Structure 1
Amino acid sequence: MAKRLDLEFAFDAAIAQTQKCIETGLVTARGEEARDRLEKLEEELKRERERAVNLGAIDHDWFRQTIRSLVEWLPETELTLIAALGRIVRANPTPGV
């Protein structure tokens, strides 16, 4: 049960950080508005949160793909969002991530 609670809290923190980035008007590393990308990320996080909590594990392929996509456009100065996503994988450590 603790594992699922850890997953819930980790996803909630990542969703909250994504919402904060939306509210502050975060721009991409290229200076473009990031709102659409952040809203898409928020929806993916909500969807994956539900799946992960039900199964008690994250989809590591989804996680890798999400991180790779994020670092392509996220400014290097915005590490809090990456850290929030890192909390998800730390809540459900599995070799190969």
Structure 2
Amino acid sequence: MAKTSELESAFDAAIAEVQKSMNTGMTAIGGEVATPYLQQLGDELRVERAKAVERGAVDTEWFQKTVRRLVEWLPETDLTLIAALGRIVRSTPK
């Protein structure tokens, strides 16, 4: 099991990155404002954070679905959110 502090830290960093993207007014790949996508992602991260800390691991199925949805709207030039999600999955042992 991953250390709780590693999981918490990884989720907290991803949530902070979502907030930063909202604060900068990120635009989705289709040109629309990304705020609704970012709000949904932030909400999902907060819910999954609590579950993952309790389990001591990230739900792989949740992670895969989340990344697939993210790449549908995330601009190709901004990979910070993908990197933040990568940190979450790396905090869980294989």
**TM-score range, shorter-chain basis?**
over 0.9
* Unmatched segments (≥5 aa) in structure 1: none
Using a 3 Å threshold, how does the CA distance of structure 1 residues 2 and 89 change in structure 2: closer, same or farther?
closer
Instruction: Tell me the CA shift for residue 46 of structure 1.
Output: 0.2
1:12 corresponds in structure 2 to 12
Q: Whole-Å Cα distance in 1 between the matches of residues 29 and 21 of structure 2?
A: 14
For normalisation by structure 1, the TM-score amounts to 0.93
Instruction: Tell me the CA shift for residue 36 of structure 1.
Output: 0.6
Instruction: Tell me the CA shift for residue 93 of structure 1.
Output: 3.3
* Unmatched segments (≥5 aa) in structure 2: none
Higher relative CO (Cα under 8 Å, sequence separation at least 6) belongs to: 2
Q: Whole-Å Cα distance in 2 between the matches of residues 90 and 73 of structure 1?
A: 23
Alignment of 1:34-49 (within 5 A): 34-49=34-49
1:52 corresponds in structure 2 to 52
* Number of residue pairs the alignment of both structures matches: 94
Are residue 32 (structure 1) and residue 32 (structure 2) matched? Answer: yes
Instruction: Tell me the CA shift for residue 3 of structure 1.
Output: 1.4
Q: Which amino acid aligns with 1:30?
A: G
Q: Which contiguous aligned blocks of 4+ residues in structure 1 show a shift greater than 6 angstroms? A: none
Q: Which amino acid aligns with 2:3?
A: K
